[in-house]
Amino acid sequence: MRTTLLILTIIIFKTSFCQKETQKLSITHLTKDFYIYTTYGDAGGGQMYPANGMYLITNKGVVLFDTPWDTTQFQPLLDSIKQKHNKNVIMCISTHFHSDRTAGLSYYKQKGINTYTTKQTDELSKDKKEPRAEFLMYKDTTFQVGQYSFETYYPGKGHSPDNIVLWFNNEKILYGGCIIKSTETNSIGNLSDANTIEWIKSIKNVQTKFIKPYFIIPGHLSWNSKKSLAHTLSILKKYNRKNNQ
């Protein structure tokens, strides 16, 4: 009986340990050469919350969009990409200055990866003592990396003063970061640097500029819905009606 209990205890411990380990980093294929990676950070009170990033495999190397939130996963992400695709990360773009987007910039810069943010993000990162990129974008920019092209777009203030989105026109992928809320949540989230009035205008700007995206990737939680932009507007309007009367 004691032996059985011991075996069960070991199994439960191993299962629990593996669940905690796998929770640190997950990689999901989105479409073609696009992958979503998810890491976890403390959203307050010790609650671990998922943050989505993305990477793109090109014939020149891998482009990373945002960095892991979990500082222990900077290198494991690189290792996983190398093992899975036999390619190195050559470039990283962060979509705003918060740590769930920029935490790994200094680390990746030291690894010889070209790191990018907007000038506005860099100014906020410097002021808030967050990691900073090596290269700056002073306006909306179109990149051509290998066989893929994509553009950055600043729609206006929202979740943060500097939040940008990325658009992959051929694939109709909108990578929104934290300006877009997942349909999995009805919470407006972190408002420490937000402007909820301007945020509505900014979402409408995104809707006008990028028509009928096939994939919409929010900064947190599920990306399975095409209704995330409309859902974000709904959350913001409810919040503003309640708090800005």
The CATH code of the domain that includes 81 is 3.60.15.10
Report the catalytic residues: 96, 98, 100, 159, 190
pLDDT of residue 43: 77
Residues 45, 53: Cα–Cα separation, whole Å: 23
Within-domain flag for 88: yes
Full-model pTM: 0.90
Side chain identity at residue 18, one-letter code: C
Q: What is the model's pLDDT at position 245? A: 54
Residues 190/181, Cβ–Cβ less than 8 Å: no
* CA-closest candidate to residue 191, choices 231, 228, 157, 164: 157
- 81 belongs to a structural domain: yes
Tell whether 114 is covered by a domain: yes
pLDDT of residue 8: 35
Beta bridge partners of 57: 62
User: DSSP characters for 101-156?
Assistant: HHTTHHHHHHTT-EEEEEHHHHHHHHHHT----SEEESS--EEEETTEEEEEE---
Which domain, by its residues, includes 50? 24-243
CA atoms of 58 and 81, how far apart (whole Å): 12
For residue 44, tell me if it sits in a domain. Answer: yes
What is the number of domains present in the chain? 1
Question: What DSSP state is assigned to residue 6?
Answer: H
Rounded to whole angstroms, the Cα distance separating 87 from 143 reads: 19
Do the domain assignments include residue 107? yes
Residue 11 lies in a domain: no
In a domain, 199, yes or no: yes
Q: Collapsing DSSP states into helix, strand and coil, what is residue 59? A: coil
Q: Is residue 18 in some structural domain?
A: no
Partners of 152 in beta bridges: 166
Q: Each residue's pLDDT tens digit in the chain (245 positions)?
A: 444 433 433 333 333 333 344 479 999 999 999 999 999 998 777 788 999 999 999 999 999 999 999 999 999 999 999 999 999 999 999 999 999 999 999 999 999 999 999 999 999 999 999 999 999 999 999 999 999 999 999 999 999 999 999 999 999 999 999 999 999 999 999 999 999 999 999 999 999 999 999 999 999 999 999 999 999 999 999 999 998 75
CA distances from 189 to 38, 51, 70 (A): 18, 12, 19
